A and B are shown apart, each in its own frame.
Chain A
Amino acid sequence: MKHVKSVALVTAVSLLGVGLVGCSSDEKKEESSANWTGKITIWDGPRWADDKENKYHWLEKMAAEFEKSHEGVKVDIVQVPWAELNDKLGVSLSGKSLPDIAPIDISGNGVNPTFVKQGAVEPLDDYFTAEEKKDFYPNALEAYTKDGKMYGVPAAMTVHSLLLNLDIFKERNVEPPKDGQWTWEEFTDKMKKLTYDKNGDGSIDVYGFSTYIKNGYYEAWPFLYMNGGRSLNDDATKFTFDSSEAISAMKALADLKAADKVAPKEMGSGDVGGTWKAFAKQKTVAVEPWATWAISAAQGEKMNFMVASYPSGKAGKPVTIGGVGGWMMFDQKEDGKKKVVAEFMKQLSATEQQVLSAKSYGTFPSRISAMEQNPFADNVQMQQAQKLTEQAVMLPRHENWKKIDEAIQQQLQLVLNGEKTPENAMKEAKSKVDALLK
């Protein structure tokens, strides 16, 4: 119950404005063609592996069950690596050959407004009663709502958190932050102690901290929020990353590498795989920020680690960024098929499936009923991460977000590279973003 309360609190805190979920009629559409038969095409990225290393076993099982309960319906699964998902959808959209269902990455920001604008995504209000909608956390549902309509089903949530390699902490005799909470000063102090020459050859082998900067990824951003700065204002009409709060946080983050020398030269590059490898395989970085999928990945690596909050800055409270993954249905020509596809989406995002995903895939349920089952009862690290959901804010939602994001991330790379001051970088970003906000 305690968990439920905490997550309920998150949702209240992390709403970007009140989630005005469109009230649809409770009556479901009368279907003239309820017995539709045919093929449903679903795309998905790899999820958790079974003992045969098959990362699609869950969806395959779901498809088989659905085919069994819906005679004459065939579910065709197309495997798509997460990194290629958006581009592949773009290609399919241009060729007007979209799948019936596609996932939205857990780190994502909900349904892509551009897809909705293009008329490629089906609203689902006819298939979810007001009662059913109530089971979703409001902020999760909000991420899939545009102009009062529900464009997709939120299936899982995530937050970014800091993962701490406790073996390195122990080796350097550094106390991990109490309850996973620390101020910026405490954080930098510990990072300095964790940075050292392990083999005595005169050069640093182990660094306190590292992260990467890449379009569409937000591991580094909560640091930039710590003094109260945000990328855009609340209603996403004004660029605000050039505020003194944001600039001072950017400078602090860049100084980890430039002045304090507690981060490797690669910090700020776009190398996701290399950054993870340094933390989980080579063990050359003590602390890195990741989305919650990394918790189950680190557990798989048998790492001795803990989850901590981002350090709190001048704003006084730690902050993190959340994401909402889910499913969306693409343009359908037949009502009968639409109904069947919606049923399959419901099955995929049902309470028991969300509990399973929470336990196996390191995600938080988007359904209150799933969270009530306490899926993290025996998972200390996920419990730690769950506490962070109270600090979560969502990214701004704007139809040009991907371009806005790129304009900012490009400049952030240069800041962390030491090629530009935060002021100059954000001035440049502002000139591009202002044009995109018009």
Chain B
Amino acid sequence: MKASNGLLKEMWKQRAAYLFLLPKLILFILFIVIPVFWAFLIAFQEYGYSGSKWVGFDNFIKTFESETYRVALLNTLKYTVITVPLNIILALGLSTLIYPLGRMSQSFFRGAFYLPTVTSMVIIAMVWRWVYNYRFGLFNYFLDFFGIPPQDWLNQSDTALWALIIMSVLIPPGVGIIMYLAAMGSIPESLYESAKIDGANSFQRWWRITVPLLKPTTLYLTMLSLIGSFQVFIQVILMTGGGPGDATETVVHLIYKTAFRDLEFGLASAQAVVLFIITLIFGVVQYRIMYRKGEE
């Protein structure tokens, strides 16, 4: 009681700041919090245009029994497990290369690598569709150069998901680079100097000082990347439509189809809730592992 009184007092003291936060908070509640709660509620209903019926856990049972959901989940996991670490490693590697450069060059590379982040994924997907085109694509042009026969990347079950994974890895991780560069800037120079005196070479300095001190940033980026990967959708709908067969069916694409094609909003909400729980578990485990390591 006392604590909450204290908190309220503190909030009142800082009321000007809270007032500035209010518009954003209202929007957040309206467009994020309420729909999320609503989705949880719908997941327990057979939700229809003319009325809804409470069906308890039926939608969840259907989700767990669905072979299609299992396939979509496996594809999503495969995509996530491969793209998340690679994106993080790539961001760290590129930041390490950019950081020592002069101010002008650093600004240039920062901008260049951040550009794809502000480019619509729709545009990127269209470009990559051309890259993977069987007849005129850049990829097959390179393969041809090395005498390797062309592949129909997006239309074969054994290459389609890999094509999406490669695309995701090769899009520069702009946010990661910006954040890593900012974090690198806050590492005290004195640490590197004392390591130098102790005889550490540049790789050792990077491995022993930079990487450990970037742990919080890495953790944050991993979480962000993990959530993003679990929600892979635009690439799928624009490039493969989940095919061939169900080779690139992902959970969010399946949720989209269940809701807006089959009009089974309750089932789609249950699928979304299950995805939320899985993402949460992954996130918590990830946090525990990395945070502990960071503490050590």
A interface vs B, CB < 8 Å? 86-87, 90-91, 93-94, 96, 114-115, 118-120, 214-215, 264-266, 268-271, 331, 402-403, 410-411, 413-414, 417, 419, 432
Contacts and interface: CB of A to CB of B under 8 A. Distances in A.
Contacts of A91: 260
B241 interface: yes
B265 interface: yes
Contacts of B283: none
B262 to A, nearest CB: 6
A269 B241 CA distance: 11
Nearest to B154: A269
Contact of A266 (B67, B134, B261): B134
A45 B195 CA distance: 67
A198 to B, nearest CB: 14
A105 to B, nearest CB: 14
19 contacts: A86-B261, A87-B256, A119-B48, A120-B50, A264-B135, A265-B134, A265-B152, A266-B155, A269-B152, A269-B154, A270-B155, A270-B243, A271-B155, A402-B262, A403-B262, A413-B243, A414-B157, A417-B156, A419-B157
A414 B245 contact: yes
Contacts of B245: 410-411, 413-414, 419
A119 B49 contact: yes
Given A114-B263, A410-B243, A414-B245, A119 B50 contact: yes
Contacts of A265: 134, 152, 155
Interface residues of B, number: 25
B253 to A, nearest CB: 12
A381 B155 CA distance: 33
B259 interface: yes
B246 interface: yes
Contacts of B246: 410
Contacts of A410: 243-246
Given A118-B48, A411-B245, A94 B156 contact: no
A118 B50 contact: yes
B214 to A, nearest CB: 41
Nearest to A274: B133
Contact of B49 (A331, A414, A432): A331
A99 to B, nearest CB: 14
Contacts of B262: 114, 402-403
Contacts of B47: 94
A403 B246 CA distance: 13
Given A96-B49, A118-B50, A214-B241, 7 more contacts: A93-B263, A118-B48, A266-B155, A269-B154, A413-B244, A417-B155, A417-B157
Nearest to B50: A119
A87 B155 contact: no
A410 B249 CA distance: 11
A94 B157 contact: no
Nearest to B241: A270
Q: Which of A96, A115, A413, A432 has the most CB of B within 10 A?
A: A413
A239 B259 CA distance: 25
A432 B66 CA distance: 10
A253 to B, nearest CB: 16
B263 A419 contact: no
Contacts of B256: 87
A266 B154 CA distance: 10
Contacts of A86: 260-261
Interface string B42-65: 000001111000000000000000
A414 B244 contact: yes
A215 B241 contact: yes
A265 B133 CA distance: 11
A90 B134 contact: no
Interface in B233-276: 240-241, 243-246, 256, 259-263, 265
Closest 10 CB pairs of A and B: A90-B260, A119-B50, A269-B155, A118-B49, A413-B244, A120-B49, A414-B245, A87-B260, A410-B245, A118-B48
B165 to A, nearest CB: 19
B11 to A, nearest CB: 35
Nearest to B157: A419
Contacts of B155: 265-266, 268-271, 413, 417
